[in-house]
Structure 1
Amino acid sequence: MSLPTLYSFRRCPYAMRARLGILLSGTSVSLREILLKHKPEPMLAASPKGTVPVLILQDGSIIDESLDIMGWALGLGLNDPHNLLLTDNPQRQEQAKTLIDNNDNEFKSWLDKYKYADRHPEQSEIFYRAEGEKFIAQLEHLLGKHQQLLSDSASIADFAIFPFIRQFAGVDRTWFNQAPYPNVQRWLACHLESPIFASIMEKYPTWLDSNEEFIFGD
């Protein structure tokens, strides 16, 4: 039986999100690694917006939002061996949703402006970083209570958010390592040094160059 096809770009935090959900659910997909500057026509035909990840299911259905791919992989709780979706705790479910919404709808905008400050001369890099730090400070507070964002066990909030904090930290690694966010630094290092992250960051030849698909997941 054929597998669903996932178009992915290794360094994209949204694609990381999708691969994390797939790996942690024990699901398998056929991975097509792409370059964003050279997008394959079949991917654009499936999802004209031209962003990754894009998942094509066996019945031809398309899922092209990273959180939706995580939800599909985890079976809305049915394929969720680590209880990432917190189905037994509606209060924490809502907290996770709020954190992810804040990451996607507020922090990501400041992250992009901080990372590409030369494209946004209206304010300085320091200004954009300070705006992003408001979310970092919120995470720092939460991580002062638990090892992970909502408890001592990682949830969908941790896996959906840390790829973006990785990007924020990477803009100026010297500053980040000295910044007053020891809990965020610890938490981020924990995820970046994990076997799970190593697995989703394995390098594959690009699909257009090699015409090869790779089985990704369990």
Structure 2
Amino acid sequence: MNDTFHEKSNDTSSLPILYSLRNCPYAMRARLAIFKAKQTVLLRDLVLSNKPAEMIAVSPKGTVPVIVLANGKVIEESLEVMLWALQQTDPADLLHCHQDGALSEMLLLINEFDINFKISLEAYKCAKRYQEDNVAQCRAVCEQYIQQLEQRLTEHAFLMSEKESLADIALIPFIRQFARIERQWYLQSPYPMVRRWLNGYLQSPVFTKVMAKHPLWADEPQDVLFGAN
């Protein structure tokens, strides 16, 4: 059975272990890549206030996602987890492996959003949360990046081309956050292509499965299969 989650009683010692946090955008995009790659991992959902000792032992920095491979290798950054998954199997060609320079271009775009947009997004979230008087200014800084995406999506259905790519699933969780800060403003904003693109993900069966709730590992340490088997 493909694209499913369920508990398994058989031996799972050869499967990677993924420590994740359901609503963390970094963990979210790692799960998206693993799911799109049709990989299977043991999912251990957690809350940051109660980090499993097993995770801290292999990754003392204590952030998610963390994946522990069967050979003991630990991958601690979300983008590296995504690349690991898609380098194993990439049935939808999210890496655009037949297009020269495509991956480099994707990584440059992702890096720009991971660093510069993320800083602006955090400032925007804080301004709204604490009802500061510079919400509009903070939003305007974020809009410089949203406008880039709007332009790309005016030219083709996804960020890089007519096909979905690594860049799409890497940025979706952060654009989702942006859209939720001032919901009414966002729905009337001059970014119809971004809204179409984001809604396409949020309303998809894949996103529903990737965002499914599972028992917290600290409360109920059971092997939960995530992905495809």
The TM-score normalised by the length of structure 1 is: 0.94
Tell me, in whole angstroms, the C-alpha distance in 2 between the residues paired with 1:116 and 1:122: 8
Once the 2 structures are TM-superposed, how far is the Cα of residue 104 of structure 1 from its aligned partner?
Answer: 0.2
Q: For 1:74-95, what per-residue CA distance to the aligned partner results, in whole angstroms no more than 9, with x for missing partners?
A: 12xx511111111111232222
SS of 1:32's equivalent in the other structure is strand
Which AA in structure 2 matches 1:203?
A: K
Structure 2: gaps of 5 or more residues: 1-11
SS of 1:109's equivalent in the other structure is helix
**Alpha-carbon contact 2:43-2:226 (below 8 Å) kept:** yes
CA gap of 1:121–1:195, structure 2 versus 1, over 3 A, is: closer
RMSD of equivalent CA atoms? 1.7
Q: For 1:84-118, what per-residue CA distance to the aligned partner results, in whole angstroms no more than 9, with x for missing partners?
A: 11111123222211210111010011111111227
Equivalence for 1:158 = 168
What does 1:24-173 align with in structure 2 at a 5 Å threshold?
Answer: 24-75=36-87, 78-117=88-127, 124-173=134-183
For residue 18 of structure 1, the aligned residue among 10, 24, 30 is 30
**Alpha-carbon contact 1:113-1:119 (below 8 Å) kept:** no
SS of 1:37's equivalent in the other structure is helix
Tell me, in whole angstroms, the C-alpha distance in 2 between the residues paired with 1:60 and 1:196: 29
Tell me, in whole angstroms, the C-alpha distance in 2 between the residues paired with 1:123 and 1:68: 38
SS of 2:96's equivalent in the other structure is coil
Number of residue-to-residue matches in the alignment:
216
For residue 209 of structure 1, the aligned residue among 210, 216, 219 is 219
Q: Which has the higher contact order (CA 8 A, sep 6+)?
A: 2
Structure 1: gaps of 5 or more residues: none
Tell me, in whole angstroms, the C-alpha distance in 2 between the residues paired with 1:30 and 1:92: 31
CA gap of 1:47–1:119, structure 2 versus 1, over 3 A, is: farther
SS of 2:18's equivalent in the other structure is strand
CA gap of 1:133–1:118, structure 2 versus 1, over 3 A, is: closer
Of 109-118 and 162-171, more deviation after overlay is shown by 109-118
Of 153-162 and 42-51, more deviation after overlay is shown by 42-51
Once the 2 structures are TM-superposed, how far is the Cα of residue 47 of structure 1 from its aligned partner?
Answer: 1.2
Which AA in structure 2 matches 1:44?
A: I
